[in-house]
Structure 1
């Protein structure tokens, strides 16, 4: 099997991001986004997905974290798309149900090549640490768009904002881990391409 790795760089007037991804890693990470809570979320995403990620991001945080979070989602989506290539052999679909204390998160993903995000997770507080919680949805929208995936995130229940967002990142990672698992030598589509 070919290595499923990617290195992506993106520089705009708002952000500068360099990311290296190994889909078949061991959960190792080096993450520096300039936003402490986002670092934590990406570190646990990496660990629970079993990926290796090195990420260095600099953004216009003097304005807010929006451009940084969104552009990291873009770069991470690009990295998965590049690393998976024609997606030959992957399971394609992934699903996970994740408990996080009083919170329960459900996630389903399809590496179909078509983009869609369903984000059905109200988040009670506006901030966790230095992170604007509305950026959770923005991050995953950018990620889904660039990875070319259908991504459905549902909060079944939960009250604690930290637990909800952490549950989302862990659940998405586990669903992706399931979806990108190699299980054949075929492309999982009657079209012959994804």
Structure 2
């Protein structure tokens, strides 16, 4: 059972699964267990503009109060992003990317904004990772991050917010294109 695999009792596991259900990550099936819930296309596409605006607000607030130590931390993470993009290491790039965005959220100083952004990030987890595997996307993502870093270095909250909005919306466009390609392929196969 899952509780044995995780070495925890059933009660905390059940509570954790209820939280994941409320967040829309898992679906509880009575007397059977649970499964990871897949977002349909519409749900996925509805989430990206929300995430773009939340992350845009996070970076705007963070930029307004960015210390030299904060900037140094972001520079270190960005250096890893560059290294992993150059090596074509998608999984490591994704982890560093997640750390970068989480750090920005934390630097916003707004715990409610941070909490909501984190919950949505968890929902979009698989889609955001998958889009990095599309041809050329890793390099484009890095270029978008470079634009974000330029705005952060200038301590320009509005430019940072705009760069973040473009970055997240770019992910949505890639996924939308891939979904359309998948539909076209499915129609061709079934014809």
Question: Same fold, TM exceeding 0.5?
Answer: no
Bigger helix fraction: 2
Bigger strand fraction: 1
Q: Which has the larger radius of gyration?
A: 2
